[in-house]
Structures are given as structure tokens and as C-alpha cells.
Structure 1
Amino acid sequence: MSQDKDSKATDAIDFVPDLKNGLSTQEAEKLRKKYGYNEITEKKANPLLLLGKKFWGTTAWMLEVTAALTFVLQKYIDFYIIAALLVVNAVISFFQEERASKAVSILKQSLQVKCRVLRDGKWINDDAKTLVPGDVIRIRSGDFVPADSQIVDGYLDVDQSALTGESISVGRQKGEKIFSGSIIKKGESTAIVLATGAATYFGKTAELVQTASPKLHINEVVSSLLKWLLGIAITLVLISLSIWIYRGLNVLSILPLLLVLLVAAIPVALPAMFTVSMALGSMDLVKKGIIVTRLGSIEDAASMDILCTDKTGTITQNRLTVASVIPVNGYTEDQVILYGAMASSDANNDAIDSAFLEEYRKRKLPPFSVEKFVPFDPSSRRTESDAVIDGKRLHIMKGAVKTIAALVNDTGNDVENRMKQLAEKGYRTMAVSFSSAEKKGEIAGFVALYDPPRQDSKALIGELRDLGINVKMLTGDSEEIAMETARQVGLGLSITPLHSEIKPETIEKSDGFSEIYPEDKYRIVKALQEMHHVTGMTGDGVNDAPALREAEVGIAVSTSTDAAKAAASAVLTKEGLENIVDLIKNGRAVYQRVVTWVLNKTTRTIEIVVFVSLAFLILGKYIVSAFDIVLTLFLIDFVTISLSTDNVRWSRKPESWDITSLVKIAAVISAMMIVESFLWLFIGMKYLSVGNQVPMYSYSFGIILYFGIFTTFVTRERKHFWSSMPGKPLFIALLADIFVVLAIETFGIPGVSAMPIWITLLTLSFTAFVSLIINDGVKSILLRSRKLMSTTPR
């Protein structure tokens, strides 16, 4: 059945709806027990299939080939242990990603679609999942249709592209059906819910909030890092292999170790660490009033250097009150407020409408009835109504002064000067017009509305500037109002009215924009991106969706429509800029944790590959086995995933990835570690009987592993290692690693022979001293010179 045909069908419901009072709470509860919640349980991937995928991929293949080679060479102990580590590696990675996935699911559940529903005679905002057949709902421009419904009044333009694939919106009027999952593009209507949950024709409430999943920057980071690490590893492995062949030795016997050295160069745990860091960051942001719908936006927030923010509700309180009433053409103040209230609606929860209705009730003006109401639309900039009072039929319009003046052809009343005088005080002026069968349309008066700046806006804008963020204010108000608001909150006064096309350079230099339409936001974002800025954008309406989706950090404010929330990568649950500051700090903290992991991994990889390869070239034999390297990767790489919870300092400037600089710093630190490793190796061979009574493999294994552990302490802190305490999970994991290695080397396990504990303790002491004293000092100097230091307190 086609959509258009089905739109005129009606469904049988249990009773005749009460359009005046809606369902009672008890009736809704009874129907919910019968029909269930308005949601569809999402299908979850089979956990066994997800676990199976952990054995498929470059790293897994290389480990599997290594295991197979050890089996062919009849090194069964190595085979069993490498196979066991492969399994453990897969299981740990699986559970870490499951943990992150659950965090995202919790976030998604937090972002429930809201709807306006009539219950017990009152309009309330409630979760769409609570709707039942028979509920009376109010839907308007920007809303998702929360359930299959039938229109009772009004006319709607409905975007059904998510359901049908057709991009052209369709008109729907009284008596026709609208389907769950559609988006209202224009208009406003009261409707009766006909079907919910699995019974809807197309709708799935659980899918209304779509989590975007663009390519994360981490993929580029991994790719860039791989080029460096594999380049170093492959070069040294090929040199070693050539010498091995030149000496006429059995190539098969050395292949497992060479493969494992290549595996060591792959940042296996980086994607998992990155995902876990962002998932944990997302959960932390929820506590601060931010719901992240795209994890990658946390990383983007770290790099954001421009934030375009709405004036209303973000910089200001979004609580409009009537400041003054200026009647003209013989009308009184009470008449102006009465007529303005006639062109307002409680059902819309609109700030301007609420201000007029609140003043109307405060003045206790006479009752009226509204026969037809046309809600505000950004393109028309007004509301209209046909109302009746004392038996007289009136047509009222309320909206932007210039718009109303043009519609009623009112060229008097000194409109321009009145607007300018009020705007200079920071007031937003609305015009109210009156017409009837006996009287042609004319302006009845002007109402000055005031939306004061939030008390914390000035301080938070200052803090954003301190964080290196250029804040640009966006408003549909006049240039004068924008200038006054900018002055009060400490923004620059270079305000640009968007009357026509403006150059990207002008957009870049402006402190704010006035008289903009929602679609202008997209132009502003594109222009700033063309100037190579990482841009954040706040928005709340359906027409803001393209800009929110285009911006690297699209932020839907707390009063946003469902369409805006779906397009954004982060949704605020509280008003103001404070949440945005938290998002930036959180993103930069996540960035610092990933930088620590990259620096740590790169340093250890270069040290292991170069130390093992050079030792072979010098001594003519390998100083560790393939199993030793695999065990090292297991004990260090996945333990350092706990860096995702480490205490870090977020920086005072926007971040940007510079893998080349990190590799250079890592190369210097690892060069020192290689020299120190050879020093300890030769001390061991000359004075500690290493290679004779003391097994070479176990001794070298201890050197590599202890350096790996203490390097984590060194790289996690941009200053000296003692400047901050590691996060509790990281500290416990590293201490546990030290004792595990101590136990392995003292008592031995299959693949690692036991050796005297005093030699192990000497190795532990030597690596701790040179890492925490010498290497840490050099690192601090290097990071300071490369300006990778952060001076911000936690």
C-alpha cells in the first residue's frame, strides 16, 4: 500500500479520544500494559561472532602464522603459549570494546525523543516511549513524529525521506495519517496517536536518535604511526634476515621471531584504548549535562578553535519577559498584550508566546477563543491567529517589526527609531497588528521583550578565550541588540549583519552575526572550514540540522528540536556555555591520554626492535625468543589501555596531531634506552654469567619488560614523572606487572627459564634509575622544546 493512500486510512482505537483533556494517567497506564512501550528492541550482534572477528585482521594473522611456524618447527611449548596469548588478547580486546559499546548504549538511552502530550487536561513534555494509542499530541516544525498518528487540526509539510527515500516533503492535513520516524518540516498540528512500537507502519522509536559514525581521526593516526614503526621494523628485520641467510642458517627457525618483531611494531591496542578513552569521557560528560551521540566528536572538541554559538538560551537566559509596552494608533497597553496573547499558543512551549501569555494572565485580561492559529516559522517571522472575543472575529499577527509593518503597509509610527532606541537597551521588539471586518490591518503597538545574559556567560566566554577558542555569536535579532549583548558579555563588537553574500575572510574576522536565518549557519560553517578552522556550532531548530551535521562539533542546545538533536554530535541537557567548556576540556584530556599511549608505544617499539636486531648483528645470535616478545606485548600493551583512565593535564590551546614530532621525541628516548639496555646486557655477560649459568633469554626479557614498565611512568607526564600521581587503575596495573615479571623470572614458566632473584632485582633497580632519572629529564627538555607541554591544572 502506498504512503499517500495509507495516509488517509484510520485505525480503530479502544475509545473516542478526549481532545480537550487527553488521556488520564490511569488510562495511559492501562493502555501501556496492553500495548507496551512505544519502542522496538534493537537487534544485537551475536557476541560469539564479535569475538570471532578478533581472530581476523593483520595482527591476528601474523600471530597465527607465528604459532603455526612454531608448531611446524616442533616448538610445542612456544606454540601453546603463543596460541594461549592470542586467545587472551582477543578476549581482553572483546571485553574492552563491549564495555565501550555498553557506555554508548547508555548514552543513547539518555537521549530519548521527547514529545508534547495532553495528559489529565495539561500539556506536558514526556518521553515518546510513554505514548499509547489514544494519546493527544502536539507536533510542530522540527519534531520527529513519535508514533503513527492522525491529524486533528492544522496543516503539515512532512519529510518522509527516512522511510521512503523520497526527498520531497509531502503535505498532510486534518484526517490524514503521519508516520513514526517522519520529520515535520513546516506547520503545527494536534494529532491522535493510532499505533505505537512494533505496531507502527514504519516507525521505530529506538532508531529516532541516530548515532553518526563517520571515519574517526584515530584511523589517520594509526595509519601515520604504522608507516613510521613498520618502516623501522621492516628495515631491521630485512637486514637481520639477509645476514641470517648469508651465514647459511635455517630461515624457518628464525621466521617466528622476525614475524613477532613486526607484530611488535603494530599499535594493536591503540584503537581499543582510543575507544575506551572516549567512551569513559562520554560517561563523565553525561554527569556534567552533555550527551555525546558521536564518540569522535570528543576528539574533534580537542582540536576545535572556533565556536559559533546562539545568543538565545546559550549566552542569554532564554526567559523572555515583557519589559515595556508601547501602544500606537489609539490602542491601550492591555489591548496590545491581549491581541499578542491571541496570536500565541501554550502548546508550543515557545519563549515569545510564553512571555505574552504570562503577561496576559498577570494582567487578568478577558478570555478569548482561537479558531485558527498559524505558528511561527523562520521564513515568515510571525505568528497569526483568527480569534473571537465578545462575539467579534479578529485577525491578529505578532512578529518581527519590519515584517508586520510591511504586511499591514504601516509606514508611520516611526518604526525604525523606536526599534533602534529599544535595541540599544538590549530589548527585542515585537509588533502586534489588529484587523477585523470593520477595520483594516494596522499596528496596535510594540512590545519590548528582554532576555538578559546568563550570569556566568561573561566568565565562561573569557574562559573559552583562555582555551584558545574564538567565540562568535549568532542571532536573528538586529545588529543593535547583538551589539548590546556582545558588550555585556565581553565579546568583540565586530558584528556583521547577514543581508547578502559576504566573503569568508569577513566571516573569519567577525565577532558575531545578526539578522541571520537558520540556513545561514551552514554558510558560516562551510566558510570557516574552507579557512582550515575546526568549527563548533550550536543550534536548536530543524533548519539548523545541516549546519550541525556539517560542523566538526555540532552541539544541540537543551531546547532543541528532535531533528537538531539527531544531526548533532553532542546534546546539552542544561542551558548555557558551561557544558561546552566541559566538552572541550574533556576532549583535550582524552587527546593527552592518546598522545601518552602513542609516545609510550613508539618509544618501546623502537627500543625492542632496534635492541633485539642490533644485538643479533653484534653477537651473531638472538637474545630473546618469539615467545618472549609476545609475552612482553601482552604484559605491557594491553595493561597500558588503563592509560584511558589516567590523570592528565588538558592544554590551554586547541590540539592537533603531529605524529612526526612524537616519533622524533620517541626516537631520542628509545636511543637512550637502547644504549642503556646494551650497557646492562654487557655488564650481565661480563660480571653476572649471563649466557652461561644465567639464561640469556630470561635476562634480556627482564631488561625489555622493565624498561617498558618504567617508560610508561616517564611518558605519561609532560613534566617530570613525579609532578603528578598516575590514575589508580594504571598505577595498580603497572605495579602488578612488576610483581608478575619478578615472579616469572624468579620461578620460571614454560618458555622463560628461572634465574636468581638478586639478578632480577638488580635489573629492576637499574632500569628504574636510568628511566626515572636520566630518561625522564631528557624527555622533559624535549617536550618543552617541542611545545607539547601542558600547564593546565587538573
Structure 2
Amino acid sequence: MQGLTAAQAKENLKRFGPNEIAEKKRSALLKFLSWLVSPIALMLFAAAFLSLAAGNVFDFYFILVLALLNFFVSFWQERKADDAVKKLEKKLSVEVKTLRDGAWAWIPAGDLVPDDAIRLDVGAIVPADAAIVEGENVTANESQLTGESLPKEKHLGDPLYSGSFITTGFAVARVTATGARTNFGKTMTLVENVRRRSLLEEDILRISKFLSVLSLIAVIILSAILIGQHAPFLEVLTLDLALVIAGIPISLPTVMSLIIGFGVLELSKRETIVRRLSALENLANVNLLLSDKTGTLTKNAITVEKIIRYDDRHSDADLLRLALATASQEKNPLNQAIVGKCNELGIRNDRSVVRIIPGDSERKRSTAVLTDERGARSCVTVGAVETVLGLSGAAAPFAADVRHDADESAKNGYRSLAVAEAAGDKEERMQFLGLILLSDSLFDDAPNVVQFLKENGIGVKILTGDSVAVSERIANKLGLPDGVVSKKDLDAADLSVIGAPWWGDKDVFAEILPEDKLKLVEAAKRDFEVAVTGDGVNDLPAIKIADVGIAVSNAVDALKSAADIVLLTPGIAVIETAIIEARKIFARLYSYSVYRISESLRLIVTIAVLGVIYGAYPLTPVELILIAFLNDLPIISLAFNRVAAANSPSSINVARRFTLSSLFGLIGVVNSLLMFFLATSVFHLPLPVVETLFFLKLTIGGHMLIYVAHTEKPWWRFLPSRPVILATTITQILATLCALFGWFMAAAPLFWVAVIWVWAFFWMQVSEGVKLSYARKSAA
């Protein structure tokens, strides 16, 4: 088949456009208009116009300015999150092997055009609608498109649909449609919507609803009291709206998207791509890791170390040359090792490849049909020792020697590939030629990382198809002394009834098949939060049912598409980093929810109680809305806050969070009511000054609570990050200047402003003491 030339491809690209669906982007104007009709914006505008109707022109303009500032801060942060998403999309873009100008090359799937010739091997996602022009034993999984879980056989001329993937064989196909013209309307993407709401976000949104209801109850009670005292209706309504705005966390959506977005971006910087946001919560809770060996624990750089020949008529170079026939056609670590060795020695194919039968977990071998310059055909098979011996006749005189050599090599850490050849184009009467021994060393940091994970509450179990001998060697090097489980032992176990204790003395499962991996994951999920790594199409079932499915760096595109998390570099250290970052994201969300609940409780309950006692709101609408706005900057900065990752799996402790938030909220209510009583009844300060001091106390006291709530350690030993310190410092200075110089409120004497600072700091230490006491009690 002749592919397109570069000129033809360029012309088709101009005619049909890129192989992608144009994303519907909202303009800045549309985003602004959408914000105008949001509930928070409508409440702000209602408060502003009610103030204007009541004759408070300054309050009208001031509230409008605060509303617009709130929009622009949110808009700027949303743009940052969008930029992060685009970076992720680039990192996970699919590439496809394409015939251009007579040569096969990997190009981005987005550059495909109709009439391109593409090659699709096992695990490859079909990037555009196409028709098969050449293939061998092709089946495709179209479940993503049709819901049919069984692979569908494909023959010459049959269509391959965009979004399906190859499960067996290989196909050369001609692209028939791209982009929006494909049968299903779009190309499958490897990046899901990063704004999908996670379970933890749902939890915090429930908190927001609770606080909203609490605000409305307070408003109804206060409104009834004020209207009963014949207060002007417009004034009451304006105050009610202001209290709702201050009590409901206006910045909640922004903070949520920032915490998640910042965490996902940090993970991407560490070569970890999150495809399902709810997986972050699961990852923080993981307590059992079922890991592949190759590419995770051992370097994905296998090398050919030795050749063992059983036929003197063939040299080492001859065996490598024959193996190259299959290796050059399939992309996997073992084949890449053979190709690399041949390149190193200058070995080239001396025969043409007529057809390839790719290897898979069932065949356990790859086969190539070759033809020489005279047209004579031969068949070469490379694969598992026992499989190839079976094709060669297990009764061969040297079969015992082959098995002995393979076993001894395994004990020394080598993997063996057998090579056999036959005349003709069928795997019949094959001659066993020899073994190619390969090695794959551990990552230097693998033992330390495994130990770290165990110390942090995560059990590590290795699942491998290697022999028991190789597995024992790996287990010893990793410091996993509890034993290797063979395939025979695993088959004898009843996995349907095992419990958590069964896993305790088992570290490595050897000789396992994909169906064994699936059974182990199903059994483990009954007692653990399970993360599973994989790289091939056969790992798909296990990856899909795991609590967290992880595609390693060399995984096929189909597996990356199904996984929750994709690793871009090999090594188990990447998984360690991902778990730590996930726990940090969890910690940020948790500390934010504790702070938000306690602050809203303090503000709403205090104002409601004072309203009932004094028959009036203790703050003006402007002061209430100014408190809400000054809270936004520190709260948004919490998305970038410095937190400590828990040293054990994290989960939502609703009772602990509610108790701690209630304690902080109660302390805030008590000291606020006490401060108001002392200012009015003991020191007899003018009411406008009391309102100013009350505003200042609520603002700086709330921001000091951030330092207490963000860590379980003493706050002075684990300060927040610089953005949080800067944000709280700026807003506290602004609040103090407003109180001192009478900006938007009555001016307060310097002495009383200083007293409020001391008062707030004192009660900060009370909250700190309660937090530490509660922590000690919980740990006991």
C-alpha cells in the first residue's frame, strides 16, 4: 500500500481540517453574562439596588464594585485552571503509525487525514474511521461505542470505528473519515473532563447547602423581629441579603476548582496525569497496591545479555536476526531489547516479512513468515520456552537441557525467549534453535519506596508472569520476605472466601495470567482500597474494577484510556509521589471545610443571637458584604496552601470534622458575644464604633483561625504557605485601615483597634488549645 505524500496530506488537511472536534469555547463576554444570572450575583445586585432604593447611594456603588471584583478574581482563576487542562491534553495526545512519503512514522492523531494509511497493533486506539486493507487475526473492542463487551472480528474491507481499540492481531487500514465526519462524531480523547465533581466535592457542597439553610433560618427569625419593631422593610431586606451573602461561602466553586486543579497540575509536573478526579480521593485512601514488575519496580530498559544455542549451524547473530523479524514489527520492551542489540551489532534482516502473527497472553509467542530473494518461505517463532518447545516437539533430545538452562537462568535473574524456525509458512515441524537471555534490573530506589509505602499504611504486592525463581530473586531485593505464591498455589486457594489476613504473608504472585490478576483484584477489594497497575490490553478488566486503575508509562493507548491515572515515567517512585500529592489535596479540602463551617457558624449564629437580644443587626450591609469580600482572598489562597500529607490512608471523618468545626464555631460565638457585651454594656462605646470594632474582630479573628485550622500541629510550628500568609496579612491590614480611618464605616480609636487585635490573638490561642486537646483525646 502506498501512503499519502506530504503534499497530499497537506492538501487533505486543508480540505477536511484536523482530526478533532472543535471545542465549544465560551467567550469572556458569555462567561460574564452567565455570571450575571448566577445566584450569588443576583443576590449582590439585589442588595445593591435595595440600598439605592433606601437612599444609600454609596452602598449601592460599593456593593457593585465588590461584585465585579469577585467576578474578575474568579474569571482569572478559571483561566489558570483551563490552561492547566490544556497542558494535560497535550501530554496525553495519541500518536499513530502512519505511512507518509513511503515511510512509516509516528504522527499526532490530530494530523490524520482521509486516505492516510495507518498501522494499528494490539492495544492501539482507532483514531479515526478507517477500512482494513491488510491484517491478521484482527478483533476490535467497540464497547466504548456500542456497549458490546465482546471483541468483534474484523476482516479485509471491514470498518474500524474511531474510539474502538485493537484487542488481537494487527491491521493496516485506510482512513475514511476524520474529526466531526467520523461515524461517532469525534475522536476518543485520553483526557476526561477534569471538572467532573468528586465525592469529596459533593460532601463539601452539602456543607454549603447546610450553611445556606442556616443563614435562611437566621434571616427569617431576624426579619420577623425587626418587622415586628416596625423597621423599614427595604432596610430589613437589604440586611437580610447581606447576611446571606456573608454566611454562604461565595468563593466555594472557585476554591474547589482551584484546590483540585492545582493538585492535578502538581501531579502532572511529577509525570502523573489524573483522568478521573474522584480517583484522587480513592488514591488518598489506598491501602493496598497490586503492582506490575516491569516498568514499575524494574527498569523498562531490558537488554539482551546472552545467547544459548542448541544448533551449531546457526550463530548468535543468526538467532538475533531471526528474532528481529518479529521484534521489529511489535512494540514492547522485550522486542525493543532485541532491536537494540541488533542495532548495536549491525545486524539487519536478510529476508522480507510476508506476514506477522502478533503475540498475546494466550499464544505466548510471536510468529513471522519470511521470504528470501529466491522466494523460499520460512516461519520463525519467538516466545515462551514451553510454548516453543511444544511446537518443536517436547521429546527432542535436548528438551531437558533447554528446561534446565531456562530454570538456571531464571534463578540468576534472566528471562528467556525461545527461538525456532521451520520451512514453509506454518508452525509445523519447527526446529528449536536456542534461547535469548534478557535482564531487567530494579530501579535503585525501588526497595526504599516499597518500605516507605508500607510505613505509610500501604501494602505492596507484586503481580508478575515471571517464574517463581525470578520472582523470589526480585522479592529478596525489594525486602519483601513474606513469600512468593506460585500459579499452582494460587489456583488451589479459594479467593471467594479469603479475608484480609490471607494477604499478610504473601508479597509476590508469580506466573499469573490476566484472569488471575482480575480475580486477585476482586478478592482484595472486599477488604482494601486497591490500586492496580497495568500496561497491556489484557489488564483492562483489572484496571476497570480497581478503586484506582494506574496505567504505567509503557501502557498501550487503550489501557491509558481506561485508567484513572496515567504515569508518564517508569518507576514506583512516581506512584509514591502521586499518593502523597493526593493526600495533600485531601488535606487542603479537609482543612478548608473545617475553617469554612466554623466561620459561617460563628458569623451566622453571633449575628442571629445579637439580633434577637438587641432587636437590630450589629453590622451594616456594607460591613457584612465587605467581610465576605475580605474573606475571599485568603480563602482562595488556601488552594495553594502548604499542608502535611497524612502518614496513613485518608478518609472523610465526618464526626471529627463536625466536632472540630463546632468547637471552633462555639469559641467564635462566645468571644464575639462577650466582646459586644463588654463594648456596649461595660465600656459604653458608641454603637457605630462598636459596629466597626465588631467588623474588625470578625475579620482578623477569622483569618487567624486559618493558621489554627490548617494543621493538626501547633500553628507556630507549621505555618501556612507564603500565598496564605501574604493574603491574610493584606486583608487584615485593609480591615484595620478601614476601622482606623473610617473607610465605609465609623472610625475607631487606635487604642480600641489595638485591643481588638490582642483580643483576637488571645482567642486564637484558646482555639489552638482546644484543637490540641481534642487531638490528644482522639489519639488516646
TM-score (norm 2): 0.86
Q: What secondary structure does 1:371 align onto?
A: strand
Question: How has the CA–CA distance of structure 1 residues 781 and 118 changed in structure 2, closer, same or farther, with 3 Å as cutoff?
Answer: farther
Count of matched residue pairs: 765
In the other structure, the counterpart of 1:218 is 200
Report the identity percentage: 30
Q: What secondary structure does 1:311 align onto?
A: coil
Q: What secondary structure does 2:326 align onto?
A: coil
| Residue identity in the other structure for 1:353 | N
Question: 1:381 touches 1:399 (CA, 8 Å); kept in 2?
Answer: yes
Q: Deviation of residue 97 (structure 1)?
A: 2.9
Q: Deviation of residue 543 (structure 1)?
A: 3.1
In the other structure, the counterpart of 2:330 is 348
Q: What secondary structure does 1:644 align onto?
A: helix
Structure 1: stretches of 5+ with no match in the other structure: 1-15, 789-794
Q: Deviation of residue 271 (structure 1)?
A: 3.6
1:282 maps to 2:264: yes
Q: Deviation of residue 291 (structure 1)?
A: 2.4
Say which of 524, 527, 530 aligns to 2:523.
527
Q: What secondary structure does 1:502 align onto?
A: coil
Say which of 392, 414, 419 aligns to 1:432.
419
| Residue identity in the other structure for 1:434 | E
| Residue identity in the other structure for 1:17 | Q
Q: Deviation of residue 192 (structure 1)?
A: 4.9
Question: How has the CA–CA distance of structure 1 residues 706 and 366 changed in structure 2, closer, same or farther, with 3 Å as cutoff?
Answer: closer
1:303 maps to 2:285: yes
| Residue identity in the other structure for 1:767 | A
Question: How has the CA–CA distance of structure 1 residues 250 and 760 changed in structure 2, closer, same or farther, with 3 Å as cutoff?
Answer: same
In the other structure, the counterpart of 2:602 is 607
In the other structure, the counterpart of 1:388 is 371
Question: How has the CA–CA distance of structure 1 residues 765 and 60 changed in structure 2, closer, same or farther, with 3 Å as cutoff?
Answer: same
Say which of 749, 753, 756 aligns to 1:756.
749
Question: How has the CA–CA distance of structure 1 residues 84 and 508 changed in structure 2, closer, same or farther, with 3 Å as cutoff?
Answer: farther
Does 483-492 or 386-395 show the bigger shift? 386-395
Residues 463-502 of structure 1 aligned to structure 2 (within 5 Å): 463-497=452-486, 500=491, 502=495
Q: Deviation of residue 548 (structure 1)?
A: 3.0
1:421 maps to 2:417: no
Question: How has the CA–CA distance of structure 1 residues 616 and 297 changed in structure 2, closer, same or farther, with 3 Å as cutoff?
Answer: same
Cα deviation code 1:337-383 (max 9, x no counterpart): 25751651313222222333444563858722322211112222211
Give the Cα–Cα distance (whole angstroms) in 1 for the partners of residues 711 and 275 of structure 2. 30
Q: Deviation of residue 161 (structure 1)?
A: 4.9
Question: How has the CA–CA distance of structure 1 residues 762 and 562 changed in structure 2, closer, same or farther, with 3 Å as cutoff?
Answer: same
In the other structure, the counterpart of 1:782 is 774
In the other structure, the counterpart of 1:399 is 383
1:674 maps to 2:657: no
Question: 1:639 touches 1:734 (CA, 8 Å); kept in 2?
Answer: yes
Q: Deviation of residue 643 (structure 1)?
A: 0.8
Does 386-395 or 236-245 show the bigger shift? 236-245
1:514 maps to 2:499: no
Cα deviation code 1:730-765 (max 9, x no counterpart): 222212212221232234455x33333443343234
In the other structure, the counterpart of 2:275 is 293
Cα deviation code 1:666-700 (max 9, x no counterpart): 322333333332333233225654235x4332232
Cα deviation code 1:140-163 (max 9, x no counterpart): 111112345454432322334555
Q: Deviation of residue 448 (structure 1)?
A: 2.9
Question: How has the CA–CA distance of structure 1 residues 706 and 208 changed in structure 2, closer, same or farther, with 3 Å as cutoff?
Answer: closer
Question: 2:407 touches 2:469 (CA, 8 Å); kept in 1?
Answer: yes
Q: Deviation of residue 88 (structure 1)?
A: 4.0
Q: Deviation of residue 305 (structure 1)?
A: 1.9
In the other structure, the counterpart of 2:73 is 92
In the other structure, the counterpart of 1:444 is 433
Structure 2: stretches of 5+ with no match in the other structure: none
Question: How has the CA–CA distance of structure 1 residues 363 and 669 changed in structure 2, closer, same or farther, with 3 Å as cutoff?
Answer: same
Does 278-287 or 219-228 show the bigger shift? 219-228
Q: Deviation of residue 261 (structure 1)?
A: 4.3
Say which of 717, 725, 731 aligns to 2:725.
731
Question: How has the CA–CA distance of structure 1 residues 258 and 513 changed in structure 2, closer, same or farther, with 3 Å as cutoff?
Answer: farther
Question: 1:151 touches 1:174 (CA, 8 Å); kept in 2?
Answer: yes
Question: How has the CA–CA distance of structure 1 residues 305 and 71 changed in structure 2, closer, same or farther, with 3 Å as cutoff?
Answer: farther
Question: How has the CA–CA distance of structure 1 residues 64 and 516 changed in structure 2, closer, same or farther, with 3 Å as cutoff?
Answer: farther
| Residue identity in the other structure for 2:507 | D
Question: How has the CA–CA distance of structure 1 residues 556 and 328 changed in structure 2, closer, same or farther, with 3 Å as cutoff?
Answer: same
Question: How has the CA–CA distance of structure 1 residues 505 and 118 changed in structure 2, closer, same or farther, with 3 Å as cutoff?
Answer: farther
1:596 maps to 2:579: no
| Residue identity in the other structure for 2:772 | S
Question: 2:48 touches 2:60 (CA, 8 Å); kept in 1?
Answer: yes
Question: 1:114 touches 1:562 (CA, 8 Å); kept in 2?
Answer: no
Give the Cα–Cα distance (whole angstroms) in 1 for the partners of residues 443 and 678 of structure 2. 68
Say which of 735, 740, 744 aligns to 2:738.
744
Question: How has the CA–CA distance of structure 1 residues 247 and 149 changed in structure 2, closer, same or farther, with 3 Å as cutoff?
Answer: closer
Question: How has the CA–CA distance of structure 1 residues 149 and 620 changed in structure 2, closer, same or farther, with 3 Å as cutoff?
Answer: closer
| Residue identity in the other structure for 2:520 | I
Q: What secondary structure does 2:774 align onto?
A: helix
Residues 44-123 of structure 1 aligned to structure 2 (within 5 Å): 44-54=25-35, 81-82=62-63, 85-117=66-98, 123=104
Q: Deviation of residue 235 (structure 1)?
A: 6.6
| Residue identity in the other structure for 2:746 | S
Question: 1:138 touches 1:347 (CA, 8 Å); kept in 2?
Answer: no
Q: What secondary structure does 2:418 align onto?
A: strand
Q: Deviation of residue 651 (structure 1)?
A: 2.1
Say which of 617, 620, 641 aligns to 1:622.
617
Q: Deviation of residue 315 (structure 1)?
A: 0.9
| Residue identity in the other structure for 1:308 | L
Does 148-157 or 463-472 show the bigger shift? 148-157
Question: 2:98 touches 2:106 (CA, 8 Å); kept in 1?
Answer: yes
Q: What secondary structure does 1:578 align onto?
A: helix
Give the Cα–Cα distance (whole angstroms) in 2 for the partners of residues 119 and 581 of structure 1. 41
1:143 maps to 2:124: yes
Q: What secondary structure does 2:651 align onto?
A: coil
Q: Deviation of residue 309 (structure 1)?
A: 1.7
Question: How has the CA–CA distance of structure 1 residues 550 and 104 changed in structure 2, closer, same or farther, with 3 Å as cutoff?
Answer: farther
In the other structure, the counterpart of 1:711 is 705
Residues 318-397 of structure 1 aligned to structure 2 (within 5 Å): 318-328=300-310, 332=314, 334=316, 337-338=319-320, 340-341=322-323, 344-360=326-342, 362=345, 364=347, 367-389=350-372, 392-397=376-381
Question: How has the CA–CA distance of structure 1 residues 203 and 227 changed in structure 2, closer, same or farther, with 3 Å as cutoff?
Answer: closer
| Residue identity in the other structure for 2:369 | D
| Residue identity in the other structure for 2:119 | R
Question: How has the CA–CA distance of structure 1 residues 597 and 207 changed in structure 2, closer, same or farther, with 3 Å as cutoff?
Answer: same
Question: 2:162 touches 2:188 (CA, 8 Å); kept in 1?
Answer: no
TM-score (norm 1): 0.85
Cα deviation code 1:469-513 (max 9, x no counterpart): 212212222233222212222234443345646235377444233
Question: 1:468 touches 1:654 (CA, 8 Å); kept in 2?
Answer: yes
| Residue identity in the other structure for 2:361 | P
Give the Cα–Cα distance (whole angstroms) in 1 for the partners of residues 180 and 204 of structure 2. 42
In the other structure, the counterpart of 1:3 is none
Q: Deviation of residue 66 (structure 1)?
A: 5.7
Q: Deviation of residue 607 (structure 1)?
A: 1.7
Question: 2:141 touches 2:150 (CA, 8 Å); kept in 1?
Answer: yes
Cα deviation code 1:308-352 (max 9, x no counterpart): 221111111122223343444777563872575165131322222
Q: What secondary structure does 2:499 align onto?
A: helix
Give the Cα–Cα distance (whole angstroms) in 2 for the partners of residues 79 and 763 of structure 1. 29
